[in-house]
Amino acid sequence: MKKIIITIDGYSSCGKSTLAKALAAQLNYVFIDSGAMYRAITLYFLRNHVDWNKPKEVVKALGNITLEFIYSQETDISEIHLNDENVEWLIRDMVVAENVSGVASVKEVREFAVAQQQKMGDTKGIVMDGRDIGTTVFPNAELKIFLTADPAVRVERRFKELIQKNPHITIEEIKSNLETRDYIDSHREFSPLRKAHDAVVLDNSNLTMKEQLKIALKLVKERLEVEEEIA
């Protein structure tokens, strides 16, 4: 059966990765978490005191970074490795979340990540989530989904995710972080977050994961039928 590229873009804590993982599993596609790539780069910059406001420092640092997704039987997901170190959980730390939008807005960083992401899509059969996947990385993707949710719902989801790892985190901190990231992601000069003109908007504020997946699978079926007709 013909395979396609599926992109899922949207704001932080809309559940992009959750839907993308479930969709990839149902279709036996490869799931690629583009956000994890930017988080891993941010982690490297923080560890090595790289000033991302200085292009020369950034370019030099990127030359020392190798990113790879490796499937883990234990977690049943492809986890990101930074220079051969599994950092899947380290990149979820709040200090990384507070800096990732700034790092991701740097032109050299985006060019570095986008080049790797596009290479991953050469054979198709992938589901990739992020903020500029349907607009910059794969503008010709067969199916583009723009995921959205009410801000209050997003804050609550993020709080439930982080409270387990950091019992001292507050709702106010989460709300402030998401608002800041939304602004930076939407207003950065290079590859800002925006809905692709041909993307399907999916508001999951009041949808269960099962309901979201059902809608997404229906969209995939429709796109595959179109591709078969073209072929």
pLDDT tens per residue across span 45-74 = 999 999 999 999 999 999 999 998 888 888
* Distance between CA atoms of residues 80 and 171, nearest Å: 28
At 63, list the tokens.
């030359």
DSSP state letters, 106-153: SHHHHHHHHHHHHHHTTT--EEEEESSIIIII-TT-SEEEEEE--HHH
CA-CA distances (angstroms) from residue 31 to 7, 28, 106, 123, 166? 10, 9, 25, 13, 27
Number of domains in the chain: 1
Q: Is residue 125 part of a domain?
A: yes
Q: Is residue 27 part of a domain?
A: yes
We report the CATH number of the domain holding residue 163 as 3.40.50.300
Map residue 33 onto helix, strand or coil.
strand
* Distance between CA atoms of residues 58 and 54, nearest Å: 6
Q: Is residue 204 part of a domain?
A: yes
Q: Is residue 166 part of a domain?
A: yes
Sheet with 85-86, strands from edge to edge, namely 67-72, 77-82, 85-86
Q: Is residue 228 part of a domain?
A: no
Q: Is residue 231 part of a domain?
A: no
Residue 149: give the domain boundaries.
Answer: 5-219
Map residue 18 onto helix, strand or coil.
helix
Q: Digits of tens for pLDDT over the chain (231 positions)?
A: 789 999 999 998 999 999 999 999 899 898 888 999 999 999 999 999 999 999 999 999 999 999 988 888 888 778 899 999 999 999 988 899 899 999 999 999 999 999 999 988 888 999 999 999 999 999 999 999 999 999 999 999 999 888 887 888 899 999 999 999 899 889 988 888 999 999 999 999 999 999 999 999 999 999 998 877 665
